[in-house]
């Protein structure tokens, strides 16, 4: 899968332009705060995922403007496809291959990408939420229906939490908790089951990449850890009944806390090197290598499940990695379309997209369309 053109209008500081990337490596070059990450983020949004910077939709629209419009032409499944997104009023309105869709969840799985930013480098060290989001985002692209289950779970969870806060004032509501526990444990079991299966495959692949990076000196392994006692290999029914029991046991504590203290929203991904927890005992270098392996494994699995390689977005990570890790990463990405940001002008890069104050100047033909000019947005 590869991007053939990207058009944007009023997306963050990017005013209005179109770029025509190459099929291999595209270097997005420019000084600080010029719009390089914005361009990477813009590409990422076509996966249907949320901004990897955690921004709200309104933040994506250029200051002082009401709407941002972006359009991606890409080649996938043997044909040219398009996704358009209009962002404004706190919403994203997608159009996939000229067909308007009700929500962005309906475009998930069409354009697939893996993004790797400096924030990911702390994936191992920081809290479990980032690791859960990492697994969830990866599964969503492989299995778009998973996004629907996730949002259903979040809705049930917030309703249960609202109920927990009501109960101290209305004790009679306590009896209704079981209904929510039942619903939450059934949705949660599907999530835990999918995460177990994904992490099992991820662990094998990431282990292979880590072996390569460490030249066979260390072994990386991973495990998805639930807080209800569910284990890998259990079916959804078993996981659901364990979750239900755990929720019931915690009902009194949850009422005191005013929120739900067990469930898949509190689970974690445990990463070990030579059997020791990397978060606690790994050096910074080991933690970075582990994240690099995780990201490469994510790209590998996505490519394997989809039958074609995803587009790779690397935001400022090269400068954070030492030479041998840089080399390892770029070698592994051979054959995929890659977008890399960097501050220094890359002398030997073939395709350089220069970004200055939100405008693009392509130095080696990046803004020259391969065939006819297809600047739809610019023409309107």
Please count the other Cβ atoms lying within 10 Å of the Cβ belonging to residue 250.
19
Q: Whose CA is closest to 246, among 264, 258, 219?
A: 264
Q: How far is the CB of 360 from ligand ADP (least distance, A)?
A: 12
Shortest-Cβ-distance residue relative to Mg ion:
37
Cα 153 to Cα 191: distance, rounded to the nearest angstrom? 9
Cα 361 to Cα 28: distance, rounded to the nearest angstrom? 10
Report DSSP state, residue 357.
T
C-alpha pair distances (Å), 146 with each of 104, 156, 205, 225, 237: 13, 15, 22, 19, 18
Q: Contacts with ligand ADP in 13-72 (CB under 6 A)?
A: 13, 30, 32-38, 59, 61-63
For the record, the structure tokens of 158 come out as 């917030």
Nearer to ligand ADP, 65 or 327 (CB): 65
Nearer to Mg ion, 234 or 338 (CB): 338
**Contact between 290 and 210 (Cβ < 8 Å):** yes
Nearer to ligand ADP, 41 or 194 (CB): 41
Nearer to ligand ADP, 13 or 270 (CB): 13
Q: How far is the CB of 99 from Mg ion (least distance, A)?
A: 33
Selected from 1, 3, 9, 12, the binder of ligand ADP by CB under 6 A is 12
Nearer to ligand ADP, 29 or 292 (CB): 29
* Length, in residues, of the chain: 380
How do beta strands 359-362 and 67-76 pair?
Answer: unpaired
Residue 323 binds which entry of ligand ADP, Mg ion, none, CB below 5-8 Å type-dependent? none
β-partners of residue 277 are 272
Residue 59 binds which entry of Mg ion, ligand ADP, none, CB below 5-8 Å type-dependent? ligand ADP
Q: Contacts with ligand ADP in 62-121 (CB under 6 A)?
A: 62-63
Selected from 5, 22, 26, 37, the binder of Mg ion by CB under 5 A is 37
Q: How far is the CB of 317 from Mg ion (least distance, A)?
A: 11
Sheet holding 79-88, edge to edge: 14-19, 2-11, 67-76, 79-88, 91-96, 99-100
Tell me which residues touch ligand ADP (CB under 6 A). Answer: 12-13, 30, 32-38, 59, 61-63
Tell me which residues touch Mg ion (CB under 5 A). Answer: 36-37
């Amino acid at each position: 899968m590869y991007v053939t053109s990207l058009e944007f209008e009023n997306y963050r500081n990017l005013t209005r332009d179109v770029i025509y990337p190459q099929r291999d490596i595209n270097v997005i070059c420019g000084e600080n705060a010029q719009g390089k990450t914005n361009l990477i983020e813009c590409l990422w949004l076509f996966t249907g995922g949320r901004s990897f910077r955690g921004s709200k939709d309104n933040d994506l629209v250029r200051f002082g403007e009401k709407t941002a419009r972006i359009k991606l032409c890409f080649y996938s499944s043997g044909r040219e496809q398009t996704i358009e997104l209009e962002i404004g009023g706190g919403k994203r309105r997608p159009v996939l291959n000229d067909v308007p869709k009700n929500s962005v969840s309906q475009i998930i799985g069409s354009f697939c990408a893996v993004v790797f930013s400096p924030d990911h480098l702390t994936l191992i060290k920081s809290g479990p939420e980032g690791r859960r989001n990492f697994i969830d985002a990866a599964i969503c692209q492989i299995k778009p229906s998973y996004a629907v289950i996730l949002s259903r779970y979040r809705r049930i969870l917030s309703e249960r939490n609202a109920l927990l806060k009501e109960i101290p004032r209305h004790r009679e509501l306590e009896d209704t908790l079981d209904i929510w526990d039942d619903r939450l444990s059934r949705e949660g079991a599907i999530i835990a089951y999918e995460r177990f299966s994904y992490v099992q495959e991820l662990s094998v692949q990431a282990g292979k990449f880590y072996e390569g990076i460490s030249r066979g000196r260390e072994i990386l392994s991973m495990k998805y850890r639930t807080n209800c006692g569910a284990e890998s290999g259990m079916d959804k029914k078993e996981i659901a009944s364990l979750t239900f029991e755990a929720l019931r046991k915690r009902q009194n504590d949850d009422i005191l806390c005013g929120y739900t203290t067990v469930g898949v929203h509190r689970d974690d991904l445990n990463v070990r090197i030579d059997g020791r927890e990397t978060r606690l005992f790994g050096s910074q270098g080991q933690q970075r290598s582990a994240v690099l392996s995780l990201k490469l494994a994510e790209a590998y699995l996505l490519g394997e499940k989809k039958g074609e390689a995803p587009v790779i977005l690397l935001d400022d990570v090269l400068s954070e990695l030492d030479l041998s890790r840089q080399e390892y990463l770029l070698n592994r990405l051979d054959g995929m379309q890659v977008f890399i940001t960097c501050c220094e002008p890359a002398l030997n890069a073939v395709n350089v997209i220069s970004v200055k104050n939100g405008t693009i100047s392509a130095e080696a033909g990046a803004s020259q369309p391969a065939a006819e000019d297809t600047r739809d947005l610019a023409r309107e």
